[in-house]
Amino acid sequence: MTAAPAAPAAPAAPAAPAADPAVVRAAPPTADAPTSADHLIAASPLPRAEARRLLEQASGRRREWLLAHGDEPLDRPVSEHFLALEASRIKGAPLAYLCGEREFYGLTLEVDQAVLIPRPETELLVNAACERAPPGATVLDLGTGSGAIAIAIAVTRADLQVVATDRSGEALAVAARNAARHGLAPNRLGFRTGSWWQAIAPAERFALVVSNPPYIADTDPHLAEGDLRFEPRHALASGSDGLDALREIAAGAPAHLAAGGWLVVEHGWDQGAAVRSLFLGAGLEDVHTQHDLAGHERLTFGRAQ
């Protein structure tokens, strides 16, 4: 996937502070000088909200507790844990990985370095799926990662069953924990391992297939920047033009869509024309593209005959 005018075409990530050796704490706490939450936050080079979030993580205390007890001495292991998290953040590690979770579609999801951090613009794909899925249908999510799309669909539409796939067993383990966390039993959301359509039985057909596949070009310099440096390469990059996964998904869709069923995919801001062409080449109909809130082509739709 190539770059958007001002931001990576990969789902945009919050900017991490630069790994700048000059960015250091004003006064590192010493062994004989216990420190407080207020002091650690005030002395942190991180934005205040980030420092506070990392201190919540290090202490296991909620924001309200830290506010009410901000001037009390912290246990040494807590301040040391905070300083270790702060140091990782200064080097650019994503806040979501340091805290082990990210909000998506109003749901808190576990994330770790086995999965892409779900992006806000992917919520458009969930909206599109929930609007188009026929009552009682089974929906397929290809390349589920943390399970974000599949879980949001299943939670929003209690009448649907969802099947979610990924080639990464580590990602599926995270997705399964997230499904359990949101009360989704295997009869509502089932997981399969395999590369794209290979995870699906030859005769299996779905009323709706969604995917947010990797779509960055292998050589895109954005892969070496910001949060993308820390995310799994196989979740981001897909061949010399970023379209390898989308090619495979489009080509296999007609064999796995029910008559009139929709394929909806997320893609890069400059890939709309290429993806429409892949969909038309696969024989899909009513092919069209939806813009995201930033005005970029983001979702392409196609319907089986």
Ligand X SMILES: C[S@@+](CC[C@H](N)C(=O)[O-])C[C@H]1O[C@@H](n2cnc3c(N)ncnc32)[C@H](O)[C@@H]1O
Tell me, residue by residue from 126 to 155, as one string, x for binding to ligand X by CB under 6 A and - for no binding.
-----------------xxxx-xx------
Q: Which is nearer to ligand X, 118 or 272 (CB)?
A: 118
Q: Which is nearer to ligand X, 43 or 255 (CB)?
A: 255
Q: What b-and-e string marks burial along 287-304, b requiring 16 or more CB atoms within 10 Å of the CB?
A: bebbebeeebbbbbbbbb
Q: Choose one: 14-22, 64-72, 208-216, 281-289; the region binding ligand X (CB under 6 A).
A: 208-216
Residue 196 CB, shortest distance to ligand X, in Å, is 5
Tell me how far apart the alpha carbons of residues 278 and 274 are, in angstroms, rounded to a whole number.
6
- Does 212 bind ligand X (CB under 6 A)? Our answer is yes
Among 113, 195, 219, 240, binds ligand X (CB under 6 A): 195
Q: Choose one: 63-71, 207-215, 275-283, 291-299; the region binding ligand X (CB under 6 A).
A: 207-215
Tell me, residue by residue from 244 to 273, as one string, x for binding to ligand X by CB under 6 A and - for no binding.
-x----------------------------
Among 3, 90, 116, 284, binds ligand X (CB under 6 A): 116
Residue 104 CB, shortest distance to ligand X, in Å, is 7
Among 29, 213, 242, 252, binds ligand X (CB under 6 A): 213
Q: Which is nearer to ligand X, 25 or 182 (CB)?
A: 182
Q: Which is nearer to ligand X, 217 or 235 (CB)?
A: 235
Residue 291 CB, shortest distance to ligand X, in Å, is 18
Query: Using CA of residue 186, residue 156, residue 243, residue 228, what is the dihedral sign?
Result: negative
- By CB under 6 A, the residues from 163 to 182 that bind ligand X are 165-168, 171
**Could you list the residues that contact ligand X (CB under 6 A)?**
115-116, 118, 122, 143-146, 148-149, 165-168, 171, 195-196, 212-214, 234-235, 245
